[in-house]
Amino acid sequence: MTGLPMVVPEPGLPEAVTIYEVGPRDGLQNEATLVPTATKAAFVRRLVAAGLPVVEATSFVHPRWVPQLADAEELMTTLGEEGRGHPVLVPNERGLDRALALGLRHVAIFGSATETFAQQNLNRSLETQLAMFEPTVRRARAAGLDVRAYVSMCFGDPWEGPVEAQQVVAVGTRLLEMGAAQLSLGDTIGVATAGQVTALVGAFGEAGIGPDRLAMHFHDTYGQALTNTHAALRAGITTFDASAGGLGGCPYARSATGNLATEDLVWLLSGLGIAHGVDLDALVATSTWMATQLGRPSPSAVVRALAQSSG
């Protein structure tokens, strides 16, 4: 059995947090070596068995752009009935059509807070990306699907530099008004600091959007992901995206290294006495197994530390 941190609650923090696991999609999408569909299905199932309440399975993006996820239909078919409850990313109406054909119930769209990244990622302007999302969200909602919206480059952009909070709020508000139930704010290149996180949540609050509608998606490029998570907890955020073993990054932003590791997040939450429902032993075993499949050690500090202590 793994060690666990001493529990010392901090007044004013949420009692419970939802971890939105993105490893099978965001974690694997940038891997050069193609992971077999059966391995991906086993990964999803092991994450669910470890107690993760939400596991994003794949993306219905064109295979030319993300070859790793070319087997999206095959994966969701392999997962069967259980797979219908897993969220998938749909970049546009064509992606939504594929999700609807499989009877999936949760989809996500992926937009940019900056003009340059919208061009780099979607080959569209900031405004035309929103026009593209509108019919996708409308049709998904009409079909009874839950829609989540990701917004990338919320704190900094490799081409444009620091991103003003009001710019993020303007884009995020549009997506929520379209019908997205939740907005995931991405620190895509990992440059955010705690003060920025507090200020951005505050700016959304001033616009009438509370922390219950927001999620945080941190990258650990500069080692700030857990510090930023703590700041977000203090600001009332209760949903955090994370990737098992710290896998992942954005294929369209070279400086976007790994996501916040789910194990590192669980360790922080456990120490603060915040309920999360995840079995750390099972999660570490899953990430260690996946690292073996990929042929390299896990980037997660907690996985490495626990592996050493048990070795």
Assess contact for 242 and 232: CB atoms under 8 A. Answer: no
- Token pair of 38 as six digits: 């059966």
Task: Name residues whose C-beta falls within 8 Å of residue 47's C-beta, 6 or more positions apart in sequence.
Answer: 21, 23, 24, 55, 244, 283, 286
- Token pair of 180 as six digits: 């997205």
Nearest to 50 by CA among 296, 290, 301: 290
d(CA 58, CA 108): 10
**What is the residue type of 34?**
L
CA distances 214 to 4, 57, 236, 310, Å, are: 29, 21, 9, 37
d(CA 288, CA 72): 24
Task: Name residues whose C-beta falls within 8 Å of residue 59's C-beta, 6 or more positions apart in sequence.
Answer: 25, 29, 66, 69, 72, 88, 89, 90, 91, 95
Assess contact for 84 and 105: CB atoms under 8 A. Answer: yes
Segment holding 150, helix H or strand E: strand 146-152
> Does the annotation count 154 as an active-site position?
no
The one catalytic residue among 176, 178, 250, 261: 250
Residues carrying an active site annotation: 250
